[in-house]
Amino acid sequence: MPKLGISKLLLIPVISAMTVAVFAFPRLNATGTKQMEDEARLKKILRSTGEYCERVKKIALKYICKENIIDIENFFQGATQTMGMHLERETFNIRRVKRRTYMYEYQLIRQGDHLSERRIILKKNGKIKNNKNADLNHLKYYSQYLIYGPVGFLSRYWQQHFQYSLIGEDTIDGESVSIIKAVPNKVRLDNYNIGKIWINEDFQIVRLEWEPASIQNYENEILISRLGPFQKKVMWAVDYTYEKNGVRFPGKQSIQEVFFRNSENGSEQKAVKRETRIEYNMYKFFTVETEVIF
């Protein structure tokens, strides 16, 4: 994977096996005055989040944190092509669960105008470890440069390469937030993420969620059960819950691989095949002048 320049920082979602999913995003039925207000609001959001991303690029290199991972995989009853299911519960019958845990010390390293990540694994499944060249390649789903997720969507540089729409409002942890959707203007090799972004009233990015169709190495996968075909989709979201000097840092990340189908009565039958939960804590920050490496 090529090195990334500081001016083109982006979040890179990665999948180490091949699946596909499609998200459906709501659209506002705005007309007249409402549409004009939304356009003005969106313009202000883009200007202010562009400024916010410049702050992210300056501060994000000066910290170390703990990265705690729980990776759970469910194995369903029956063969792969004939999944057993309890219809009345609308869930797969789970035969076995594989659960793995990891603890890392994480740092983002700046070397001139390029970036790299460095991890020390401290624990694996509760056992003490001390590998200074650890990575996340053992996970089916993982991301790189997570702190720069907002930059890859909303920085001044990248805004010229995306189309944006204001699609709704929400509340997260008591905060009122606006939700926008970002879609690339054209297919790009270096940044083709499609996502939703939650932005608070201070124009900080508090959550990112992106469409798996934009994740590297993706293709369709359908499983056939006695009830019919089940489509696989991935729900991937990052919450930026830790604040320092006006910048939000990752607090948690949730990745779910789900099988689902719509039944004849309109309800959705689904089951989680795999879930990866990641929490970030114990942040330690350093001064701008300090170059801190493990």
Q: Are 223 and 80 in contact (CB under 8 A)?
A: yes
pLDDT above 70 (res 207): yes
The 10s digit of each residue's pLDDT in 210-235 is: 887 666 655 667 776 667 788 888 88
- Average pLDDT score over residue span 129-139: 92
pLDDT for position 217: 59
Compute the distance between CA of residue 34 and CA of residue 22 in angstroms, rounded to an integer.
29
pLDDT above 60 (res 28): no
Determine the straight-line distance between the first and last CA of the chain, rounded to whole angstroms: 23
Number of neighbouring beta carbons within 10 Å of residue 233: 20
Mark out the alpha helices in the chain (DSSP H runs): 32-59, 149-154, 156-159
Phi and psi, residue 23, nearest 5°: -95, 145
- CB crowding 51-85: b at 16 or more within 10 Å, else e: ebbeebbebbbbbbbebbbebbbbebeeeeeebeb
pLDDT above 70 (res 97): yes
pLDDT above 80 (res 79): no
DSSP code for 192: -
- Average pLDDT score over residue span 118-126: 96
- Average pLDDT score over residue span 34-53: 92
Tokens (6 digits) for 219: 């293709």
Give the pLDDT band (50/70/90) at residue 104.
Answer: very high
3-class secondary structure, 254: strand
pLDDT above 50 (res 192): yes
DSSP code for 83: B
CA distances (Å), 130 to each of 101, 104, 127, 133, 139, in order?
15, 9, 10, 9, 19
Q: Are 211 and 23 in contact (CB under 8 A)?
A: yes
pLDDT above 60 (res 201): yes
Give the pLDDT band (50/70/90) at residue 15.
Answer: low
* Angle at 74 (CA atoms; ends 82, 12), nearest 5 degrees: 110
Q: Which residue from 20, 70, 52 is spatially nearest to 219, judged by alpha carbons?
A: 20
Compute the distance between CA of residue 149 and CA of residue 252 in angstroms, rounded to an integer.
13
Q: Does residue 49 or residue 235 have the better pLDDT?
A: 49
- Average pLDDT score over residue span 235-256: 93
CB-neighbour burial class of residue 238 (10 A; exposed 0-12, middle 13-18, buried 19+):
buried
% of the chain exceeding 70 in pLDDT: 76
Q: Helix (H) and strand (E) counts for the chain? A: 3, 18
Compute the distance between CA of residue 55 and CA of residue 49 in angstroms, rounded to an integer.
10
Give the pLDDT band (50/70/90) at residue 5.
Answer: low
| Residue-averaged pLDDT of the chain | 81
pLDDT for position 1: 39
pLDDT for position 67: 98
Written as one string, the DSSP assignment of 107-125 is EEEEETTEEEEEEEEEEET
- Average pLDDT score over residue span 60-72: 90
Compute the distance between CA of residue 194 and CA of residue 28 in angstroms, rounded to an integer.
18
- Average pLDDT score over residue span 47-55: 95
Written as one string, the DSSP assignment of 257-271 is EEEEEE-TTSPEEEE
pLDDT above 90 (res 253): yes
List, in order of start, the domains of the chain with CATH numbers: 6-285 (2.50.20)
3-class secondary structure, 185: coil
Highest mean pLDDT among 17-31, 47-61, 240-254, 275-289: 240-254
